[in-house]
Amino acid sequence: MQNAMRLARATLLALAACLLAPALHAEAFPARPVHILVPFPPGGGTDALARIMGPYLSQRWGQPVIVENKPGASGHIGAEVVAAAPADGYMLLMSSTASLTPKNVDKFAPITLVSASPYVVVVNPKVPATNIRELVEYAKKNPGKLSFGSSGTGAASHLAGELFKSLAGIDMLHVPYKGTGQAVKDLLGGQIDVMFAPGETVMPQVKAGRLRALAVTSAQRATAIPELPTVAEAGVAGYEAIGWFGLLAPVATPKAIVDKISRDANAVLADPEVRAKMLALGAEPSGDTPEAFARFIRADQAKWSKLMRERGIVVEY
C-alpha cells in the first residue's frame, strides 16, 4: 500500500514538473541573443520596423536583439530559413504580406501583428498627375506607358497595383524588384513611374520633394498622413489594399514562449516612443494576440489568393 502511495506521489510530481516546465522555460527566455530575420534587403518597410522594435525588445529582455537581412524570392528565401530554424524563439521572422503563402504559412507560429498600414501611391515628379483621377486619365490615354515597381512578384506592393489596374480599368507595366528599397531607388531615378509603397519607405522622400504622394490605399484616411485622400475617395470606388508586417516563429515553438514574445512585443508597440517613430514613417502600430494574428493572416491570404487567380499571377519560388 505504501509503495503504491509513493508511486502515485512520484507520478503526480513528475506530471507537475512536465506541466510547469514550459512556463519556467518561458520565464527564462531569452537567455541569449535573439535574431529577427528580415527576408528583404535593407531600406524597406519590413527592415525599418524590425530596427525600430529591436532595441526596445533588447531593453526588456536584457539580451541583444540582432536584425539580419536575408533577401530573395519575394521574401520566401528568408522565410524558409526561419521555418527550418530550431523552434526555441531565438530566430524570429519579421514578415510582410509577401513572405507568407498558402504553401508555407503552416510552417510558422504567428506572434503578433506589428503594423497593418495602408500603402501610399507615389509617383516620380515627371509623371503629369497630381491626384488619382489624373493618374487614371493619363494611363487611359497612354496604355502601357506607365510602369509601377514592387518588391517582387506576388508581394503586397505588386498586388496593390494589380488591384488598382483592375478596378480603374487601366494598363501599367509591372516591374518587380528584390526589395522595396531597390524599387524606390529606381522610382527616384525615373526608371519607373509609380509605386504602391509602405509609408515608412517613401514618405521621407515625399517630404523632401523627391516623390509626389497621391493617395493612401486604405478604406479610411491614415492617422499618420491624414492629408492624403484614400484611393477610393479619389476616384477608384471599392479600392482597398493594406500591407501588414508581423512577427512569427517556427511552428513548433512552445506556446509559452510564443505568448511571452507576443506580450513583450505588444508592450513595445504600445510604448509612446515606438509609436511616434512608427507614425513618423507612416506606419500604423498594431499589436494583438497570436490567435487574432492567425485569423488576420487567413483572411488576408484568402483575399489576395482570389486576386492572383483572377489576374493569372503565378509566383515562382
pLDDT in tens, 118-150: 899 999 999 999 999 999 999 999 999 999 999
Question: Pairing state of beta strands 91-96 and 242-250?
Answer: antiparallel
Co-location of 248 and 100 in the same domain: yes
Calculate mean pLDDT across residues 25-45. Answer: 87
Residue 84 burial by Cβ neighbours in a 10 Å radius (0-12, 13-18, 19+): exposed
Percent of the chain with pLDDT over 70: 91
Q: Copy the grid coordinates of residue 136.
A: 487614371
The reply to whether 129 and 238 lie within a common domain is: yes
Residue 202 lies in a domain: yes
Residues 279 and 130 in one domain: no
Pairwise pLDDT comparison (26 vs 32), residue with the higher score: 32
Nearest to 250 by CA among 23, 35, 25: 35
How many Å from the N-terminal Cα to the C-terminal Cα in the chain?
A: 64
Residue 24 pLDDT level (bands cut at 50, 70, 90): very low
| Domain assignment present for 317 | no
The CATH number of the domain holding residue 293 is: 3.40.190.150
Same domain, 183 and 139: yes
From 202, 226, 242, give the residue that closes a domain: 242
Task: Give the total number of structural domains in the chain.
Answer: 2
The answer to pTM > 0.85 is no
Lowest mean pLDDT among 25-29, 212-216, 263-267, 303-307: 25-29
- Together in a domain, 154 and 208: yes
Q: Does the residue 29 lie in any domain?
A: no
Angle at 190 between CA 51 and CA 137, to 5 degrees: 105
In a domain, 18, yes or no: no
Lowest mean pLDDT among 200-204, 226-230, 265-269: 200-204
Whole-angstrom distance, CA of residue 107 vs CA of residue 116: 22
pLDDT digits (tens, 9 = 90+) for 106-126: 999 999 999 988 899 999 999
Q: What is the mean pLDDT of residues 50-61?
A: 98
Tally of helices (H runs) and strands (E runs) in the chain:
10, 9
Are residues 276 and 230 located together in one domain of the fold?
no
**Co-location of 271 and 190 in the same domain:** no
User: What are residue 198's DSSP bridge partners?
Assistant: 119
156 shares a domain with 139: yes
Query: Could you tell me how far CA 313 lies from the centroid of its own chain?
Result: 20
The domain of 158 spans 118-242
Mark whether 131 and 232 lie in a shared domain.
yes
Residues 134 and 107 in one domain: no
Phi, psi of 249 (to 5 degrees): -130, 165
Residue 4, all three cell numbers = 503504491
User: 242, 266, 292: which is the final residue of a domain?
Assistant: 242
**CATH number of the domain encompassing residue 238:** 3.40.190.10
Closest alpha carbon to 87 in 246, 247, 248, 254:
254
The domain boundary, picked from 209, 242, 275, lies at: 242
